[in-house]
Structure 1
């Protein structure tokens, strides 16, 4: 089957959605499908067997587009539409997989070319916009209707968590939906040298990710300060974040009187995430808002370290008390969770071991590929009259659209994770 994936992000960069797109394209190609992947300018060149990468024109003001809504991203989406039409005009694609807002592009182009599409949903756009801009309710409802229209025009949907599957099901009750959780990023060996900036003689509580308010890092800091005030001996290590967020967090630690016990390291290469997690005693996800499960959670679960997380739907759709220390989203509860894990090595070991078993059975790469293959062969391909693909690793070369625009390179960093 020939598949066109529309991914409105720079590719490839070490950031949540581009990582998920890479995993999806790689798995589909491995299953015998041929993939055309249309992306924004930027990122590093990545060779995947069976995947041809195409980019929209590299206009100067469209470079380095970050996550979330922006006017530049909206313009890039508009530029993507005619490029996608050019690829579909060849008449060989059997299916479009539309990531995030590109579902609206796929909906428009289906009317012209008749190619069915799947929505690949990593977040709810109405919720995302409302969280960022505090929209009036009538405008939220308008965006929700548009989101529903895109879902009802699809022949299937892929979501990254159950909460998004529930939203999509509410829009389109009869739509086949498959939840594909993220894959752990801890591929580098913990046996590599210990990072020089992460060597401590006391238990280490570690957070990895961006420092946006919804991540709840302030809550983690307040809870840690409360635990220290009650006698806990530990080091809080925070990795990731833009310079402004790093500076603000250091100032907050100073005001709390725990500067010596807090190390705010800033961004580090994602390729080294395993090295850093190997130095942790406890890993933390204190998120306070959002529905989608943070990508970091899957790496945490696979790290061999116990996970401390807030007892909110963003976590509980994946986590439970058997594999994580779940606490209420307040400083006192966070402090109690930190203290309990520091004081009880057997509890730490039990949670960490159970988490790794859960990852291997439900959230590993083989599990991801198995779920995707079953969804495609049982739910999607019969709708478009396609037989099961002949799985093969060597692909015949096909003419590709020349890419006249040079790739740009971005430094991958841990701050970009979900």
Structure 2
């Protein structure tokens, strides 16, 4: 990079917190600071307050009626929390001589666009997903078709508010170029990294010892509806009909209440272990697991859990819609979306073939060791900053669409 940058990073979410968006923000900010940049994270009033950060975190005033940790928009967030965040962002930008605003996810971009009316700073938008596919999973009191349509319109309009867009996958990048009319020169792919050293301990676990009394299938992440937990429970129940030694381990910060009735009806509640834990607990649980599962069927971004599984050397079974970075039969196993019997069969297939499973896991870890580091994420992000600020200094417009207009 030509010089260190002063960045206001917008986290319209609990922060820090062990799920996809907050994790990307935290690790990206840490890597940018490690390379000499100055990062100020501007965020909500809540999160994991005990996790230290090597950068300042600026929070809005406490809102005692809002403690939601799960993802997704709410009317309280949009009408109260996010306007408070925009005011905080304006203050941070003015007081710390910020170079540019890096806004994560759609609510972060809304906040940045509102604040920019007063500050005029350039915005880099970090697109983690597309709302057309994600919004229907959230309970907003609207029909799913309406939510999908609203998401499609936002996907085509809001990213144009930024000078440059960072997309976490090629799929998001291609969609924004094609359907939002963004110039390819103003949309860059910057993939997530993963803490490979943290997960190295999982390689010394007990997963392939012959004396293991059970075969542990692990899922690590939140239990929101879009994660496909119901599909997983049905598939696991199907596998349990063939093997009596299976255990489904859910490592999560979420409550299992919404799925208790289904698990009992399927006759598998006694086969499910709930491990309340976050990032620090993952190597231990991954080291004891024989198979990792990713039951999400729609994901335009890349599930961080997938990279974590791969870094731990676990064989990964995933539905196709979220199987980013997986080459079927080489570094993981893919099943057609919503194919519950196929997912159950794949669980049995991989558990019955420990040599194949171990080979899949080893190749998966090798891939992320080579290509998925947070330092590389920071380097690629700095290149975007340099491009945006050079364009601003030269007096050129930022995020032009393919036709040349904003």
TM-score, with structure 2 as normaliser? 0.82
| 1:334 CA displacement | 1.5
Higher relative contact order (Cα pairs below 8 Å, separated by 6+ residues): 1
Task: State the match for 2:376 in structure 1.
Answer: 367
CA 1:19–1:264: 2 relative to 1, 3 Å: same
CA 1:70–1:186: 2 relative to 1, 3 Å: farther
Secondary structure at 2:56 match in 1: strand
- The reply to whether residue 176 of structure 1 matches residue 201 of structure 2 is no
- The reply to whether residue 85 of structure 1 matches residue 90 of structure 2 is yes
- The reply to whether residue 348 of structure 1 matches residue 348 of structure 2 is no
Structure 1 contact 361–367 (Cα < 8 Å) conserved: no
In 2, distance between residues paired with 1:232 and 1:336? 15
Task: State the match for 1:160 in structure 2.
Answer: 168
Structure 1 contact 232–339 (Cα < 8 Å) conserved: no
In 1, distance between residues paired with 2:373 and 2:57? 25
In 1, distance between residues paired with 2:262 and 2:154? 38
Task: State the match for 1:73 in structure 2.
Answer: 77
| 1:91 CA displacement | 7.5
Alignment match of 2:305 (pick from 272, 296, 302) = 296
Task: State the match for 1:242 in structure 2.
Answer: 255
Task: State the match for 1:218 in structure 2.
Answer: 230
Gaps of 5+ in 1: 387-418
Secondary structure at 2:296 match in 1: coil
* 1:51-62 mapped onto 2 (5 Å cutoff): 51-62=55-66
* 1:199-214 mapped onto 2 (5 Å cutoff): 201-214=213-226
TM-score, with structure 1 as normaliser? 0.80
Task: State the match for 1:113 in structure 2.
Answer: 119
Q: Deviations over 1:156-178 (max 9, x none)?
A: 12233333223332314312322
Task: State the match for 1:396 in structure 2.
Answer: none
| 1:3 CA displacement | 1.3
Structure 2 contact 127–167 (Cα < 8 Å) conserved: yes
In 2, distance between residues paired with 1:213 and 1:109? 32
* 1:175-194 mapped onto 2 (5 Å cutoff): 175-184=186-195, 187=198, 189-190=201-202
| 1:266 CA displacement | 4.5
Task: State the match for 2:291 in structure 1.
Answer: 282
| 1:115 CA displacement | 0.6
Gaps of 5+ in 2: 395-406
In 2, distance between residues paired with 1:215 and 1:139? 18
| 1:110 CA displacement | 2.8
- The reply to whether residue 320 of structure 1 matches residue 327 of structure 2 is yes
- The reply to whether residue 273 of structure 1 matches residue 287 of structure 2 is no
Q: Deviations over 1:175-214 (max 9, x none)?
A: 23223225248726349998xxxx9513222222223333
Structure 1 contact 183–368 (Cα < 8 Å) conserved: no
| 1:228 CA displacement | 3.6
Task: State the match for 1:28 in structure 2.
Answer: 32
Q: Deviations over 1:334-384 (max 9, x none)?
A: 12212221222221122111101111112233433343344434x334223
Task: State the match for 1:335 in structure 2.
Answer: 344
In 2, distance between residues paired with 1:139 and 1:245? 22
In 2, distance between residues paired with 1:173 and 1:357? 34
Deviation larger for 138-147 or 61-70: 138-147
CA 1:333–1:138: 2 relative to 1, 3 Å: closer
CA 1:185–1:73: 2 relative to 1, 3 Å: farther
Q: Deviations over 1:118-142 (max 9, x none)?
A: 0112233354333324547577545
CA 1:339–1:90: 2 relative to 1, 3 Å: closer
Task: State the match for 2:10 in structure 1.
Answer: 6
Task: State the match for 2:397 in structure 1.
Answer: none
In 1, distance between residues paired with 2:222 and 2:362? 27
Question: How many residues are aligned here?
Answer: 375
Q: Deviations over 1:243-271 (max 9, x none)?
A: 413523531342xxx455x1232422331
Secondary structure at 2:317 match in 1: strand
Structure 2 contact 156–176 (Cα < 8 Å) conserved: yes
The Cα RMSD (Å) is 2.9
